[in-house]
Amino acid sequence: MKLDAAELASRLQYDLEVVSELRSPALGEIRAYASDDDWRAGRRLDASNTGERQATVYVVDYSFPVLVSAAETTPKVTVHFDLLAGGNYPYTAPWTAAVSRPTPWSPHVHPNEATVCIGEIWRDARGKMLLADLIVHVMRILNFDETERGLEYGGWNSAAINHWRRVLKRKPLHPDLAYPVLPTHLTHGMPEPDCSFSPVSCDETLSGFAPSSPSTQRRIAIEDVLGDAFTPIRTR
């Protein structure tokens, strides 16, 4: 299954309109771009100036304390979403990675490349999950808003999941975190995917790590763009 050019343009515009209305004290700025090149050049898009160009790259700030080790947090994490990276949006998942430093300390974030494991939630939605749903899902990941998958589960960081079990007592890092709600005047009639975690196991070979880890060259290019300006301050 594949959308034709007009259908894809309509879907991308819809994603932009829905994302533009996400609101939460824990959600910072959301920036949309037509491409990675436009992101590097600072050429942003919004719902009023897309013209013939669709937003395919998003850079999202999560503005709440996120663990970067068992004892340290950072006040902000920036995550990069490339909608077309899988080759068949919306049926293939966006490439999702944390691009701020330090890297979040999480079983779902690769400690070296910072790729974010989104599990099989996007694949199972079969094209009906919106980018806004994925933004909320990543917020849950960063907040350790987990479900137990069994003691053998370790993801990409077994120490982090053990911290969730033993220190956080299987509860979110911030139990009262306000997740954004999708605007019903735009999404009425759309199915609402469960943005919590599914009980599948995450390991490095699972197809649910979608898309696969980025190349080293791409990771270096992103870091070159961000520089020190996007480096969060560590807090205790």
Is residue 236 in some structural domain?
Answer: no
Q: Quick one: pLDDT at residue 152? A: 76
Q: Quick one: pLDDT at residue 53? A: 80
Task: Find the CATH number of the domain harbouring 76.
Answer: 3.10.110.10
Contacts 24+ apart (CB under 8 A), 42-49: 45/16, 46/16, 46/20, 47/13, 47/16, 47/17, 47/20
The number of domains in the chain is 1
Q: 189 phi and psi, to 5 degrees? A: 95, -15
**C-alpha distance from residue 157 to each of 17, 65, 106, 199 (Å):** 35, 19, 6, 17
Is residue 201 in some structural domain?
Answer: yes
Length of the chain: 236
Contact of 69 with 48, CB cutoff 8 Å: no
The distance from CA 91 to its chain's CA centroid, rounded to whole angstroms, is 16
All residue ranges of the chain with pLDDT < 50 are: 193-236
Is residue 134 in some structural domain?
Answer: yes
Q: Quick one: pLDDT at residue 192? A: 52
Q: Quick one: pLDDT at residue 187? A: 78
DSSP E strands: which ranges in 50-122?
57-62, 66-67, 73-74, 77-82, 95-98
Is residue 235 in some structural domain?
Answer: no
> Would the pTM count as exceeding 0.85?
no
225: its two tokens:
């763009």
* pLDDT tens sequence across 134-146: 999 999 999 999 8
